[in-house]
């Protein structure tokens, strides 16, 4: 088992990465201090893993209740969130009740948000079961739900007591879900670590095959990058925004297509292609760097051609973004591979990237 730490003073917490962690009762002991625990999962993950987590908690003498949510990004909204509150209130949960988020990014975000709100804050533990959630969404304390007008616009910062990432759970992921998680792995290399990006290029086949040793290294390095950023900028005052490389375009795709049509990682992957194109168009990266990003996204089996929403519609959707200020869209671009920065961009260049992204697959030829 590998253990990292998110350093946030009194709110610091460990990230445990390894195999067979769901059954390690003692791993849960220091993080579930009250008598009662509530596992929040979904219809897909629950039948696979809820009984094992419940057994680990019961072995500690805890009273355990399970709440099962519908599965999918389309359910990341108020009505589903209230199912968690209904269960907590009907069970008489108190401030020492610990919530356990067992699932992917949607379950983690909603459980964390419920924990932040219930009785103005109760503890929770992240037990991510998808690659995307293990390398990204479970770390850092961002919680929330979607709104029809914008993704993750309603939420709170609420750090977990711990993250327990069992690599074994990735073996049951459908191919599409695994590929979606690889988008966030690639993102960390592109925006923060060129050497890691190169490692991903060399190991993309092993990652697709879910090789446990290679996958553990990817989860470890991605979590190291994110933990370091969160420790410096917990509430996204500046540096943490760099972790949104590809997300401004990606969130627009998700909202424009309807939540759930494209997986989050698919939209982020295509969004990184668009961000790389814009970075090249503005003269920050060369054509070879742009091509490497596109080729790796393609090798990860992620879409590299954006859906046709209309240029004006894309811009309208991107203005409903947490980074936007006074209607001005902020983009995370690449100054070079492994170094991201935040900026506004000229409207003609943005429109050119949007038009280019939906017309044809990106090529190695210089953009017009």
| SS3 state of residue 279 | helix
Asked whether 218 and 135 are in contact (CB, 8 A), the reply is: yes
Alpha carbon distance 14, 6 (integer Å): 6
Q: Which of 297, 300, 301, 293 is nearest to 276 (CA)?
A: 293
Per DSSP, the residues of 242-277 read GGGTTHHHHHHHHHHH-TTSS-HHHHHHHHHHHHHH
Alpha carbon distance 182, 265 (integer Å): 7
Residues forming the active site = 120, 142, 184, 226, 236, 240, 244, 247, 251, 264
Angle (CA) 297-45-74 rounded to 5° is 65
Structure tokens at 219: 């989860």
Q: How many helices (H) and strands (E) does the chain have?
A: 13, 11
CA distances from 237 to 142, 143, 242, 345 (A): 13, 16, 11, 20
Write down the residue that tokens 């309208």 correspond to.
316
| SS3 state of residue 5 | strand
Q: How many other β-carbons are positioned within 10 Å of the β-carbon of residue 104?
A: 31
- Cα 30 to chain centroid distance, Å, stands at 25
Angle (CA) 292-295-296 rounded to 5° is 85
């Amino acid at each position: 088992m590998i253990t990292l730490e998110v350093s946030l003073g009194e709110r610091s917490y460990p990230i445990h990465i390894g195999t067979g962690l769901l059954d390690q009762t003692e791993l849960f002991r220091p993080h579930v201090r009250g008598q009662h625990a509530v596992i929040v999962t979904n219809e897909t993950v629950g039948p696979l893993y809820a009984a094992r987590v419940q057994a680990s908690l019961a072995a500690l003498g805890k009273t355990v209740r399970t709440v099962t949510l519908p599965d999918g990004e389309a359910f990341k909204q108020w009505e589903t969130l209230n199912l968690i509150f209904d269960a907590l209130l009907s069970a008489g949960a108190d401030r020492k009740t610990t919530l356990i988020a067992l699932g992917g990014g949607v379950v983690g975000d909603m459980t964390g948000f419920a924990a932040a709100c219930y009785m103005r804050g109760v503890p929770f533990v992240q037990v991510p079961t998808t690659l995307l959630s293990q390398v990204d969404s479970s770390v850092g304390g961002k919680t929330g739900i979607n709104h029809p007008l914008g993704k993750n616009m309603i939420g709170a910062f609420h750090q977990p007591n711990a993250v327990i990432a069992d690599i074994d759970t990735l073996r049951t992921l459908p191919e599409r879900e695994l590929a979606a998680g690889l988008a966030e792995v690639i993102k960390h290399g592109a925006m923060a670590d060129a050497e890691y990006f190169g490692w991903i290029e060399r190991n993309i086949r092993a990652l697709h095959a879910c090789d446990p040793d290679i996958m553990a290294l990817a989860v470890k390095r991605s979590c190291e990058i994110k933990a370091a950023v969160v420790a410096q900028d917990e509430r996204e005052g500046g540096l943490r925004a760099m972790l949104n490389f590809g997300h401004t375009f990606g969130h627009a795709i998700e909202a424009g297509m309807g939540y759930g049509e494209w997986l989050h990682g698919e939209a982020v992957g295509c969004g990184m292609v668009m961000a790389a194109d814009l970075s090249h168009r503005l003269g920050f990266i060369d054509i070879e760097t742009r091509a490497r990003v596109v080729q790796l996204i393609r090798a990860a089996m992620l879409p590299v051609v954006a859906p046709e929403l209309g240029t004006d519609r894309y811009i309208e959707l991107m203005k409903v973004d947490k980074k936007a200020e006074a209607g001005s869209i902020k983009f995370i671009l690449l100054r070079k591979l492994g170094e991201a920065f935040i900026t506004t961009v000229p409207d003609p260049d943005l429109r050119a990237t949007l038009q280019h992204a939906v017309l044809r697959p990106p090529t190695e030829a210089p953009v017009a």
